Amino acid sequence: MKKVRTRFAPSPTGYMHIGNLRTALFEYLIAKHENGDFLLRIEDTDQQRQVEGAVDIIYETLREVGLRHDEGPDIGGDYGPYIQSERLPMYKAYADELVERGGAHYCFCSEDTVEKQRKECELINKPFKYDDPCKHISLEEAKQRIANGETYVVRQTIQHEGATYFDDEVYGRIEVDNDILDESVLLKSDGYPTYNFANIIDDHQMMISHVVRGNEYLSSTPKYNLIYEAYGWEIPTYVHVPPVMKDEYQKLSKRNGDASFQDLIKKGYLPQAILNYIALLGWSPETEQEIYTLEELIRVFDIQRISKSPAIFDIDKLTWMNGMYIRNMKLEEFHQLALPYYQKAIHRNINLMDVSKILQQRVEILTQIPEMVDFIDQLPSYDNTMYLHKKMKTTYEISLTSLQASKTALEKFEQWNSEEAIHNLLLSLPEKLEMKNGQVLWPLRTAITGKQFTPGGAIEIAHILGKEETLRRIQIGIQKLEEELS
């Protein structure tokens, strides 16, 4: 059986789009499920769209999500070079061979000639398909014109009778009438191959067994197969995947302001959670399981379970999944991730590990952290109506009594390093005051945080703030309530 070999072949044009990363993941899983090879190839033939530093972004992204390639520009391999611009002489030789085999021809038409035909098609509302007069030039004449220094391109030659079909692993049999296939340029006048031509040559030379790409290439694939057939090469297995959509009508696109992988990382999402989520965009496992390690995905991935339907990117679902990853971490691991965010928001000398203990089970994305802990540094201004809680059955009078009792008890308390001791002390107050727990703890939490929603309760937060700061904030609360009742 032929070894499974897949390739991720991005263009270095900027950040890693979510759709591109999902394609890389599917290619990786298809290869590794069969103990095959996953290659990285940089397709930089479109020089005008290149962005400086984009190749490093590709390397860094794959490294962050754990998609380790077996061959590539940075690690080498038996089928390099793995950067298309370093393979230019080869494409010219293959293009000339294709002309000799009758699968392509030399075209000397100017851009004006091509544009004239395009406009004529637009006027009669007809799909544009270039009718190239140069395909009728004999090979001998074409070679003489090239020798004379004429500018030319190599254009595919297609016999327009009959139909071409292929079998796709996702969409089944696809058949296209040859009459609608455009004779596209394969080698440009500057010697650079077009994306379509370079892809075919590289995939063949690198022994790629499975070509995985977006379903927008379904209509072009018959043209690729005609080139494979002209060379007498084996056609690879095709796996066309549905697009990732922003909604029912729009594709997910950086151009439309949609998040790239790098954007999501900056927003506080974890690489592993992103990878897990995009695995489920257009692919469904046999069970209801949703949280997967990469090793688990390798084991269960099945091409036959890739959907034909577009997948809609749901940021809320990703946020939920990210929260699950955070909660399943070891505390120390979460603490290390949270430290940079603490440093932005907390300058008070406290035990930050205690903050991590209350945050880990409540935070969903890391960038939520500064807002969740900003009360630690400084008590925010708050409205007295926060002391009124219908469910807790608190009033201004009850809140004032509770705070005064809490202050008296805590002023005499010396075991501040023990959260359990603080817990026992404060929970002894409701019985003494003939109140419910919430009638004591809600006013206390309001006084020491100034917020309705906090990552921890009054006891945990008092322990973190320490005796002096907790008592100072309680006194502010008492004064506010005394003024309210005066």
Residue 42: how many other CB atoms lie within 10 Å: 24
- Is 234 in contact with 299 (CB distance < 8 Å)? no
Average pLDDT over residues 247-259: 74
Average pLDDT over residues 134-158: 95
Q: Which of 305, 327, 349 is the last residue of a domain?
A: 327
Query: Are residues 272 and 311 located together in one domain of the fold?
Result: yes
Average pLDDT over residues 386-401: 93
Q: What confidence tier does 450 reach under pLDDT thresholds 50, 70, 90?
A: very high
Query: Are residues 287 and 355 located together in one domain of the fold?
Result: no
Average pLDDT over residues 188-204: 92
Quick one: which of 473, 463, 458, 460 has its CA closest to 360?
460
Average pLDDT of the chain? Answer: 93
- Which range marks the domain in which residue 318 is found? 254-327
Q: What confidence tier does 330 reach under pLDDT thresholds 50, 70, 90?
A: very high
First and final C-alpha spacing in the chain? 88
CA distances from 435 to 61, 202, 392, 427, 443 (A): 56, 77, 10, 11, 12
Looking at beta carbons, which pairs linking 8-11 to residues 24 or more positions away fall under 8 Å? 8/38, 8/39, 8/40, 8/41, 8/62, 8/67, 8/69, 9/40, 9/41, 9/42, 9/43, 9/199, 9/202, 10/42, 10/43, 10/58, 11/42, 11/43, 11/44, 11/46, 11/49, 11/50
Query: Are residues 323 and 337 located together in one domain of the fold?
Result: no
Whether residue 168 lies inside any domain: the answer is no
Whether residue 185 lies inside any domain: the answer is no
CA distances from 318 to 246, 279, 293, 406 (A): 13, 11, 15, 42
Average pLDDT over residues 375-404: 94
Q: What confidence tier does 257 reach under pLDDT thresholds 50, 70, 90?
A: low
Whether residue 53 lies inside any domain: the answer is no
Query: Are residues 423 and 369 located together in one domain of the fold?
Result: no
Q: Is the pLDDT of residue 130 over 90?
A: no
Q: Which two tokens stand for residue 277?
A: 């989520």
Query: Are residues 317 and 398 located together in one domain of the fold?
Result: no
Radius of gyration of the chain (CA): 32
Helices 271-279 and 54-65: angle between axes, nearest 10 degrees:
80
Average pLDDT over residues 395-405: 95
Query: Are residues 373 and 322 located together in one domain of the fold?
Result: no
Query: Are residues 296 and 317 located together in one domain of the fold?
Result: yes
Among 7-16, 305-314, 437-446, 466-475, whose mean pLDDT is lowest?
A: 7-16
H-run or E-run covering 212: strand 210-214
Please tell me the pTM assigned to this model: 0.90
CATH code of the domain in which 437 resides: 1.10.10.350
The DSSP bridge partners found for residue 201 are: none
Q: Is the pLDDT of residue 125 over 90?
A: no
Whether residue 287 lies inside any domain: the answer is yes
Q: How far apart are CA 387 and CA 25, in angstroms?
A: 51
The answer to whether residue 254 is catalytic is: yes
Maximum CA extent, the chain? 107
Q: What confidence tier does 114 reach under pLDDT thresholds 50, 70, 90?
A: confident
Whether residue 137 lies inside any domain: the answer is no
Average pLDDT over residues 334-342: 96
Query: Are residues 388 and 319 located together in one domain of the fold?
Result: no
Q: State percent of the chain over pLDDT 90.
A: 79
- Is 186 in contact with 45 (CB distance < 8 Å)? no
Read off the amino acid at residue 355: V
CATH code of the domain in which 317 resides: 1.10.1160.10
Q: What confidence tier does 254 reach under pLDDT thresholds 50, 70, 90?
A: low
Q: How far apart are CA 445 and CA 460, in angstroms?
A: 10
Q: Is the pLDDT of residue 50 over 80?
A: no
Q: How far apart are CA 365 and CA 360, in angstroms?
A: 10
Average pLDDT over residues 281-287: 94
CA distances from 162 to 158, 181, 228, 321 (A): 11, 11, 17, 50
Q: What confidence tier does 255 reach under pLDDT thresholds 50, 70, 90?
A: low
Query: Are residues 285 and 366 located together in one domain of the fold?
Result: no
Among 158-167, 284-293, 353-362, 460-469, whose mean pLDDT is lowest?
A: 158-167
Whether residue 475 lies inside any domain: the answer is yes
Query: Are residues 452 and 473 located together in one domain of the fold?
Result: yes
Residue 163: how many other CB atoms lie within 10 Å: 12
- pLDDT on residue 421: 95
Whether residue 148 lies inside any domain: the answer is no
Query: Are residues 268 and 321 located together in one domain of the fold?
Result: yes
Whether residue 350 lies inside any domain: the answer is yes
Q: Which residue out of 223, 251, 254, 480 is catalytically annotated?
A: 254
Q: Which of 286, 305, 327 is the last residue of a domain?
A: 327
Query: Are residues 347 and 423 located together in one domain of the fold?
Result: no
| Domain total in the chain | 3
Q: How far apart are CA 6 and CA 30, in angstroms?
A: 8
Q: What confidence tier does 52 reach under pLDDT thresholds 50, 70, 90?
A: confident
